[in-house]
Amino acid sequence: MEILKGEFALERENIRVDSNGYMVDTEHPKIFGSKNDNIYIKTDFAESQIELITPVFKSIEGAYNFMDNLQKIVSLNLDNEYLWVQSNPPILPLDENDITIAQYGDERTDYREYLAKKYGTRKSVLSGMHFNFSFQRSALKSLCKTLDHDKVLALYLKLNKYITKYNWLFVYLTGASPKFHESFKDKQGKPNRDTFFSCRNSEYGYKNLKDYILDYTSVENYTNSINKLIEQGEIAKASELYMPARLKEGYRICNGDSKVPYIELRFIDLNPLYPLGVNKNDLHLIHLMLVYFAMQDDFNFDEEMQRRAYHNRNQVALYGNVNILNDRNITVKVEEEALKLIRLVEKLGFVEGFYKDILQDAKHKLQDVTETYSYIIAAGVERKGFINYHMQKAKLYLDRAKRTEFTLKGYEHLQLSTQCLLGSIIKKGLNYRILDHAQNFIYVENNGHEEYIKEATRTSADSYSTVLVMENKHVTKFVLNKNDVKTPKGVAIESVGEGIEYYYDEVKGMPVVVKPNNTNFGVGINILNIGYSFEDYKMALETAFLEDSVVLVEEFITGKEYRFLVIGDNVEGVLHRRGANVIGDGESTIRELVAMKNDNPLRSTGYQAPFIEIQCGEFESEFLRKQGFSFGTVPRAKERIFLRGNSNVSTGGDALDFTDDVHDSFKQLAVKAAKSVNAKICGVDIIIGDISEPAGESNHAVIELNFNPAIDMHCFPTEGKKRSVGDKVLKLLFDKED
Amino acid sequence: MEILKGEFALERENIRVDSNGYMVDTEHPKIFGSKNDNIYIKTDFAESQIELITPVFKSIEGAYNFMDNLQKIVSLNLDNEYLWVQSNPPILPLDENDITIAQYGDERTDYREYLAKKYGTRKSVLSGMHFNFSFQRSALKSLCKTLDHDKVLALYLKLNKYITKYNWLFVYLTGASPKFHESFKDKQGKPNRDTFFSCRNSEYGYKNLKDYILDYTSVENYTNSINKLIEQGEIAKASELYMPARLKEGYRICNGDSKVPYIELRFIDLNPLYPLGVNKNDLHLIHLMLVYFAMQDDFNFDEEMQRRAYHNRNQVALYGNVNILNDRNITVKVEEEALKLIRLVEKLGFVEGFYKDILQDAKHKLQDVTETYSYIIAAGVERKGFINYHMQKAKLYLDRAKRTEFTLKGYEHLQLSTQCLLGSIIKKGLNYRILDHAQNFIYVENNGHEEYIKEATRTSADSYSTVLVMENKHVTKFVLNKNDVKTPKGVAIESVGEGIEYYYDEVKGMPVVVKPNNTNFGVGINILNIGYSFEDYKMALETAFLEDSVVLVEEFITGKEYRFLVIGDNVEGVLHRRGANVIGDGESTIRELVAMKNDNPLRSTGYQAPFIEIQCGEFESEFLRKQGFSFGTVPRAKERIFLRGNSNVSTGGDALDFTDDVHDSFKQLAVKAAKSVNAKICGVDIIIGDISEPAGESNHAVIELNFNPAIDMHCFPTEGKKRSVGDKVLKLLFDKED
């Protein structure tokens, strides 16, 4: 259905609170950069009132998922603070002048001070959810038969009228601010009641001093009537008009280059029952209603009708399912009038399945007030207390964010490293676009500076030849040696026969690693420790030659392998990757221990989680056999059994952070190695005997440089401190502060 | 055999002459850059005397092949000048002061002036071939049992003695300067004879004023005896000592970082019978003799012996197979004494096959003087005249260079583009090293500035993200459109089903090109012209999806496709590639015409030549069928029949240069397209209706950007002007003048 095609965005305000539910007085967190610059994370009225803004998406899911990501990123980056989940404020300072107004240092702060004086600071921190909607071009074509700008604006004005007229219904269905904290009361003791249906949408909420009557007879008249209010000094500007919907026109984030009209719906309370502050189905319901309204005839929204709309809305906001006045000024029950409308919507041809369920749910709420959000929340608050009830939710939603911190909603199909970088991009508020999902190719823009990034670490910072050098182990070694960086001794060979010849000459008895010249993910690599047989050696050669026509046979240096992630001039993370292993419990077989270790949300079979499940395949079986084990072996308690000789995470390994433990000389060495190939982003793999000792002649060797290092394992190691390396990549490319 | 392992280099002097055999008075050609900077192409004594210097190779073939390349590159870059092929000079100016001494503007020119005064300018332009030799480390280990520096020097001193003692034999076997031009005679009328065996090695050649006796009893004494000559003012420096061999020590080009001793053999005449001025087998023979000498006992090279060596050498140089004095001061025939030595060499265990043939050949020359180079050349000169005989050779060797100008000896396994670039590297005299032959990966260095280059155009000039953007057609299009560069309309689809859906919506009837998102060499691309069927379209989709999971269906713009090669800020070449085609002769079938067209050294089946043979495969058969032809069809005379719809050279196409014909606005457009993705080296493919008209709204579309454009087809197009684009790549990377 073309007319269902819309563009959607969400804006949400949340007050930052401490763990006891007190509104905090801290500055807007620096980690999100400048409020001016960050296009997703800003402040609203108060300095401690964060505003989260999604770009425009062509589906409700898109906007909703992005809000999920914003919620996650902001929650996880607050320092012992929480996002307050309720539209009505948390515990406010005794003196409302102690609420710090958002500091911009320009006219935006002045305007907020004007609002504070006029409406009071307490009311100004009421928070809500805004839902921005426009039709896609094809939907507009269906509805208007033309894309004529005036016709389109007229359509949105019609929607505005319907939304305003029927706002009582939406307040009933989405109202979620029934209770408030004592500190919200003003000097006159208002609100002077203790339960609402939606306090925020009521006369005690954030509304204009008068119920202004506007001229809806044409777009021009409508604009003029608002301008008249401004001229008369009633309001300072159009945005001071606190109506349920607002007609807007403008560039929308990520929407491209043309200005489009859209409608902003402002009546939705923060819903504490849902992690994101809104039930996604409510957005679908509102969308459906908008489409329905768009299909209906226009009508004359005269003064009497506007007064009834103000009245009806306030009645529902105060009491819920009460009597309202219908178009003929006759008193009717909310339920009755609402069901009449819903039945008309149900008759639309495309309303079936999903939409039918949503309408059914609305009908339940209308028929039984105990099913409404407002009723459920009020009951909860009465049981647990206002602050306690909402803080429990806030903490629950923070835990939810933590459980999936390594992934972003809607981007699960992207590599985790790309998701990590996107997390940083969103945190820092940069404009971006996914250009090619399969290739993890993104476009990032900030103040006109554009970057194209593939797989998180393939960027403009590195030159093509730098990458080509790193792609070729043989050439890399040539360059490293030219720059006096110690690498393992070894040779490049071009046939199994040549390798065997070399074996007799040089390697016999020496521990060696046999690997294809060009490789990735450790495929085709074999490490042969002292005591290996000629057959082992030959098989290792054959395995490697399956992957490449050139194979390297290298001295195997004693020590552990560490991955140094160099970004710019610094080492931003040091990991040791431990090969696939399990630790015995004295009872379980190796096969059972593997299954237990794999049963962890951090491990998956693909790349959906930072770690990969350990396999019980032929390779692992062979590796166990050489140690005298099988999958049926029962290791002793605390005994660590390795299933792989290589330490790649991609074959089931662990990653442990050692960034703060490594001797600084090794970090310098890693930077030197990266600089020798002129790399700005580089994974330097170094074998080190003892990381606490300074780098010397014989205690290390650089074994590989990686031009496309994964960053997710630094962000989310199996053990040790998490490193926000995505931020560092952005700093390198955009010269952004951490 | 370890002792056969050596390191070899050649130096060769050639006077530049005009087509009539007159020594020219032009400057050293600017195209070779500065004589100081170019490490391969310098000047010797005179400004018009080019010196060609090879790096050190681990085989005689390596040095020989490199000399072939130098010969080719220098010959082809001279402006109506030729390389004089004879050691004895061409037609010299009447007044020897009119021979311009090589201009360096420093003490090197002063030294040449001193030599000119002392020995005369005429003699100073005698040219020769120098052969530098050292043993590889493993050979030195075999010969000396140690790598002790003094022992190694002593070994080379021994070689020096043997070479000097037996120089009469080498002059006999390699002498090739029997005749000279009248203008070579000095005021005293010398040389006062008309035929020599080797004029250059005789008393009339370039030799010291006296036969100096040196102290060969130790390396130290030897050095001291030379220093004594300098102190006495006999010679200005060691290099003024014109002995058959010279002991040297130094850094050798491409040999790495340690100084090594080597021996320079200076007696070899330029051999006009061979294109490179030397018979490769003579180098092998000399090498074999050196190895033999190295295995012999040392001996005391006393004054009497040295005087006999001077005498014997001069006798042979004057007369050839005459009497000489043996160790016991008894007169013996050259032939007799030589055969005695050769028979000893033949007894070496490893002398068989190839070496046996070479010794056999030497014996023939000794037994029959008419087999010697000197005799053959003298006979030729008597028949044709000195100038005519040698100029015929010079022109022959220039033609030989032209025939294979697109390839370099010893590098035939590399891509032609890489060979083109190497040609420029050698021409400009930069140090280089092939790091990975299979990957066409080279290292280039000039005055400490290092570059790593893969496949000629993958360089440090481009950033990694620039390449990644170009690698992805979909992303490229996004960027081009953002920068207002016109591209064909189209969509990216992810399944055949989606493509079919799109077909019904949009493309039906419109000419389209169907291509994989990521591709190379035109694989999987199909162009569907007006009138194509649904089945054609579906098959094109299926073909493309075999190559990639994303396929582009694009508007097919009317016009011809041109490849603009952008390097830096300029378009350095514009080619139109014409799809595989043949032109009828009214008699032959298409299959026969293809065979005739393929029978051209510029075409090969692989990438050994700039153009690829046209195939007679299923694809071509199908393409002909659609035009109503088969391979058996006989086209009319001059009728052009296409066998492919795509224009790629890789499927048998031609490449025609249009660089000077294209309207400048298209060149600007190509540069803009490259700059939009920030590319420094970029192949921009543009469909253009008429290249002579300015770029307008509807007469063109940019269809592709290539990050690794081939350069060989610009260097050697099928038709049109050759473009030295390799030079431009170097200019970009090293800021070298063209």
A49-61 pLDDT tens trace: 999 999 999 999 9
A448 touches chain B (CB under 8 A): no
pLDDT value at residue A648: 79
Query: What is the model's pLDDT at position A325?
Result: 95
For all residues of chain A together, what is the average pLDDT?
92
Residue B403 has a pLDDT of 86
In a domain, B409, yes or no: no
| Residue of chain B nearest A453, judged by CA positions | B465
Instruction: Inform me whether the pLDDT recorded for A628 exceeds 80.
Output: yes
Flag whether A84 is in a domain.
yes
Domain end among B403, B432, B454 = B403
Contact between chains at B462 and A463 (C-beta distance less than 8 A) = yes
Higher-confidence residue: A550 or A422? A422
The residue type of B400 is R
Q: What is the mean pLDDT of residues A545-565?
A: 89
With CA atoms as reference, the chain B residue closest to A442 would be B475
Output the pLDDT for position B645. Answer: 83
Q: Which domain holds residue A27?
A: 2-207+242-403
Residue B738 has pLDDT above 60, yes or no: no
The helix/strand/coil state of B540 is helix
Q: Do A468 and B454 touch (CB under 8 A)?
A: yes
Do residues A54 and A181 both lie within one domain?
A: yes
Task: Let me know if residue A394 belongs to a domain.
Answer: yes
Q: pLDDT, tens digit, for every residue of A16-44? A: 999 999 999 999 999 999 888 899 999 99
Summarised one tens digit per residue, pLDDT across range B449-468 is 999 999 999 999 999 999 99
- At a CB cut-off of 8 Å and minimum separation 6, what does B347 contact? none
Q: Are residues A546 and A589 in the same domain?
A: no
The percent of residues above 90 in pLDDT, for chain B, comes to: 75
| Same domain for B497 and B617 | no
Residues B429 and B445: beta-carbon distance below 8 Å = no
Residue A466 Cα, gap to closest chain B Cα (Å)? 7
Summarised one tens digit per residue, pLDDT across range A125-140 is 999 999 999 998 878 8
**The domain boundary residue, chosen from A346, A369, A403:** A403
Q: For residue B452, which residues of chain A lie inside 8 Å, CB to CB?
A: 465-466, 468-469, 475, 479
The answer to the question of residue B233 being in a domain is no
User: In this structure, which amino acid lies at residue A56?
Assistant: V
10 Å Cβ neighbour count for A330? 10
Whether A468 sits inside 8 A of B461 (CB atoms) is no
* Amino acid B701: pLDDT: 93
Give yes or no: residues A519 and A592 share one domain.
no
Radius of gyration of chain A (CA): 31
pLDDT above 70 as % of chain B: 97
Is the domain of B535 the same as that of B588?
no
Mean pLDDT value of segment A405-412: 92
> Chain B interface, mutation test: which of A457, A465, A675, most B Cβ atoms within 10 Å?
A465
List of chain B residues whose C-beta atoms are within 8 Å of the C-beta of residue A478: 435, 443
β-bridge mates for residue B683, sequence order: B565, B706
C-beta atoms of B469 and A452 within 8 A: yes
Q: Are residues B18 and B165 in the same domain?
A: yes
Residue pLDDT, tens place only, B608-632 = 778 889 999 999 999 999 899 999 9
Do A248 and A354 share a domain, yes or no? yes
Distance CA B332, CA B339 (A): 12
Q: Does A734 touch chain B (CB under 8 A)?
A: no
Tell me, what CATH number does A87's domain have? 3.30.590.20
DSSP state of B289: H
Name chain B contacts of A495, Cβ cutoff 8 Å: none
- Confirm whether B434 is domain-assigned: no
Question: Given a cut of 60, is residue B252 above it in pLDDT?
Answer: no
Subunit contact A468:B478, Cβ cutoff 8 A = no
- Residues A486 and A477: their CA atoms lie apart, in Å, by 9
Q: Considering only CB atoms, which chain B residues are within 8 Å of A453?
A: 465
Task: Summarize pLDDT for B637-670 with one digit per residue, the tens.
Answer: 999 999 998 777 788 989 999 999 999 999 999 9
Kindly state whether residues A47 and A126 are assigned to the same domain. yes
For residue A504, name the pLDDT band (cuts at 50, 70, 90).
low
Mean pLDDT of B267-284: 97
Q: Give the C-alpha distances (Å, rounded to integers) separating B372 from A101, A269, B58, B197, B273.
A: 104, 107, 29, 9, 11
User: What tens digit of pLDDT does each residue of B500-516 get?
Assistant: 777 666 677 778 889 89
CB contact under 8 A, B441 and A478: no
Residue with more model confidence, A1 or B207: B207
**Which string of b and e fits A151-166 if b means at least 16 CB within 10 Å?**
ebbbbbbbbbbbbbbb
pLDDT value of position A521: 64
Residue B255 has pLDDT above 50, yes or no: no
For chain A, say whether B379 makes contact (Cβ under 8 Å).
Answer: no
Query: Tell me: the pLDDT tens digits for A648-672?
Result: 778 898 999 999 999 999 999 999 9
The pLDDT mean for chain B works out to 92
Q: Which of A219-228, A485-494, B228-237, B723-732 has the lowest mean pLDDT?
A: A485-494
Residues 512-571, chain A, touching B (beta carbon < 8 A):
549-550
Do residues A53 and A198 both lie within one domain? yes
CB contact under 8 A, B464 and A469: no
| DSSP secondary structure code for residue B189 in this structure | -
Q: What is the mean pLDDT of residues A680-686?
A: 97
Residue B380 forms part of a structural domain: yes
Q: Using the predicted structure, report yes or no on whether residue A552 has a pLDDT greater than 90.
A: no
A500 and A630 share a domain? no
A-chain CB neighbours of B458 within 8 Å are 464-465, 468
Please give the distance of CA B659 from its chain centroid, rounded to a whole number.
Answer: 26
Residue A689 maps to a domain: no
Question: pLDDT tens digit string along A261-305?
Answer: 999 999 999 999 999 999 999 999 999 999 999 999 999 999 999
- CATH number (domain holding residue B682): 3.30.470.20
Judge if B287 and B386 occupy the same domain.
yes
* B285 contact A CB<8A: no
Q: Residue A409 corresponds to which tokens in the numbers above?
A: 């909603």
Say whether B464 and A463 touch across the interface (CB within 8 A).
yes
B442: tokens are: 């080279």
CATH number at residue B512: 3.30.1490.20
**pLDDT confidence band for A505 (50 / 70 / 90):** low
Q: Are strands B603-604 and B611-612 parallel, antiparallel or unpaired?
A: parallel
pLDDT band, very low/low/confident/very high, at A96 (cuts 50, 70, 90): confident
* Residue A254 confidence (pLDDT): 42
**Which of B465, B548, B676 to probe the A interface (max A CBs under 10 A)?**
B465
Final residue before a domain boundary, out of B403, B437, B461: B403
DSSP bridge partners of B131: B10, B265
Q: Which residues of B touch A451 (CB under 8 A)?
A: 465
Q: What is the CA radius of gyration of chain B?
A: 31
Same domain as B675, residue B545: no
- The pLDDT assigned to B104 comes to 85
pLDDT digits (tens, 9 = 90+) for B50-85: 999 999 999 999 999 999 999 999 999 999 999 999
| CB-based contact B119:B259 (threshold 8 Å) | no
Percent over 70 (pLDDT), chain A: 97
Count CB pairs under 8 A between chains A and B. Answer: 90
Are B45 and B125 in contact, with CB atoms under 8 Å apart? yes
Q: HEC string of A296-353? A: CCCCCCCHHHHHHHHHHHHHHHHHCCCEEECCCCCEEEHHHHHHHHHHHHHCCCCCCC
Would you say residue A569 lies in a domain?
no
Into how many domains does chain B fold?
Answer: 3
